[in-house]
Amino acid sequence: MNSYIIEEKTGYLLFTINREDVRNAINYDVMEGIEKLLDMGKDKAYKALVITGAGESAFCSGGDLSAFHQLKTENESYQMLSKMSSILYRLLTYPKPTLAILNGSAVGGGCELASACDFRIGRKGLKAGFIQGKLAITTGWGGGSILLEKLGITNALKLLMTADLYDSEQLLAVGFLNELYDGDQQQACQLYIEKMLKLETEVLSAYKKMVVRKWEETNLQKRIQEEVSNCAKLWQSEAHHQKVTSFLLKNKKM
Ligand SMILES: CC[C@@H](C(=O)O)C(=O)SCCNC(=O)CCNC(=O)[C@H](O)C(C)(C)COP(=O)(O)OP(=O)(O)OC[C@H]1O[C@@H](n2cnc3c(N)ncnc32)[C@H](O)[C@@H]1OP(=O)(O)O
């Protein structure tokens, strides 16, 4: 089975992480899929990109802990973190609107992926959180720096420093989610982007350029690189490996 599905919809591309059995965890295949989405999205036929997860349980459970647990050293983890951070920076600065539909829980890197999208809508009742701190690491795909840009500093730091899971109403209140939906996901998506799809691509891109310009001036890319380096240092610690081992043992993956 493919790790992801890219569907051509009228006016936009829909990317689905298709790894329901591992709660749509991101592995190298999914990373390649997002790069493919970003390449395909250049076509004039598409005015927006939408990202979601397969099934009803999870949007994305972050990095694939089984696969990435093989990465032990600072240098090994840096390669992976840096690769994904470049993909997320490309998504963040994409010249067309991007929407994450959180069809279920979003954890760790799943929240980083969602943060890199312009808009996030979530199914009522879901839980999400930047739980990286509980694994003795920080965000490492750039999501921490991105969250600080998207939310007020206090709300962003609260999500990062508590490393807790929050419910959909709380996530709406702090601005992580922009809207909640109940029922049909496709309909919720359509409703959220239909007015944008009526505008000229050039208009949408011009607005995006305004915010990207601000991020360039405030050296966001450099700040993300520092986030990646700091996370890679923490990654090699015994504390991190022990936390991941206990998750994998609990789920009988070791
Ligand atoms: C590496 C990048 C880093 C970053 O820079 O941000 C991160 O992403 S760190 C965060 C990594 N992610 C996690 O720690 C999340 C771990 N998962 C969970 O907490 C929970 O699974 C869930 C997402 C809250 C969903 O809970 P639930 O619905 O109860 O499902 P299960 O826990 O029973 O899981 C089902 C199944 O899926 C496997 N699984 C879940 N998440 C991952 C993952 N991230 N990587 C690999 N596998 C994962 C889990 O082991 C179960 O497998 P089986 O027991 O074989 O069914």
Q: Is 105 in the pocket of ligand 1 (CB under 6 A)?
A: yes
Residue 227 lies in a domain: no
Mean pLDDT by 10 residues, the chain (254 residues): 96 98 98 98 97 97 94 97 98 98 98 98 98 98 98 97 98 98 95 97 98 98 98 96 91 66
Residue 201 lies in a domain: no
Residue 223 lies in a domain: no
With the C-alpha atoms ordered 186, 192, 198, 199, is the resulting torsion angle positive or negative? negative
Is-contact 7 13, C-beta < 8 A? yes
Q: What is the DSSP letter of 240?
A: H
Q: Looking at residue 43, what is its pLDDT? A: 96
Residue 178 lies in a domain: yes
- The position carrying tokens 């986030």 is 227
Dihedral through CA 90, CA 92, CA 95, CA 100, nearest 10? 120
Residue 34 lies in a domain: yes
Q: Whose CA is nearest to atom 32 of ligand 1?
A: 251
Q: Is 61 in the pocket of ligand 1 (CB under 6 A)?
A: yes
Q: Is 160 in the pocket of ligand 1 (CB under 6 A)?
A: no
Entry pTM: 0.97
Best probe residue, ligand 1, of 21, 65, 165 (max atoms within 8 Å of C-beta): 65
What token pair was written down for 18?
Answer: 């298709």
What's the number of domains the chain is made of? 1
What token pair was written down for 201?
Answer: 């691509």
Q: Looking at residue 254, what is its pLDDT? A: 59
Measured in Å, residue 234 CA sits from the centre of ligand 1 at 20
Task: CATH number of the domain at 177, please.
Answer: 3.90.226.10
Residue 36 lies in a domain: yes
Q: Looking at residue 253, what is its pLDDT? A: 63
Q: In sequence order, what are the residues at sequence separation of 6 or more whose Cβ sits closer than 8 angstroms to the Cβ of residue 130?
A: 108, 111, 112, 139, 143, 144, 147, 159, 160, 163
Residue 231 lies in a domain: no
Strand partners, 49: 13, 98
Neighbour count for residue 7 (Cβ, 10 Å): 10
Look up the domain containing 74 and give its range: 4-183
Element (H, E) at 123: strand 119-123
Q: Is 57 in the pocket of ligand 1 (CB under 6 A)?
A: yes
What token pair was written down for 181?
Answer: 């939906």
Is-contact 192 121, C-beta < 8 A? yes
Q: Is 66 in the pocket of ligand 1 (CB under 6 A)?
A: yes
Q: What are phi and psi of 189, to 5 degrees?
A: -65, -50
ipTM of the complex: 0.97
Q: Is 144 in the pocket of ligand 1 (CB under 6 A)?
A: no
Is-contact 130 155, C-beta < 8 A? no
Residue 85 lies in a domain: yes
Please tell me the chain's helix, strand, coil percentages from 3-state DSSP, rounded to the nearest 5.
Answer: 55, 15, 30
Q: Is 230 in the pocket of ligand 1 (CB under 6 A)?
A: no
Q: Looking at residue 252, what is its pLDDT? A: 66
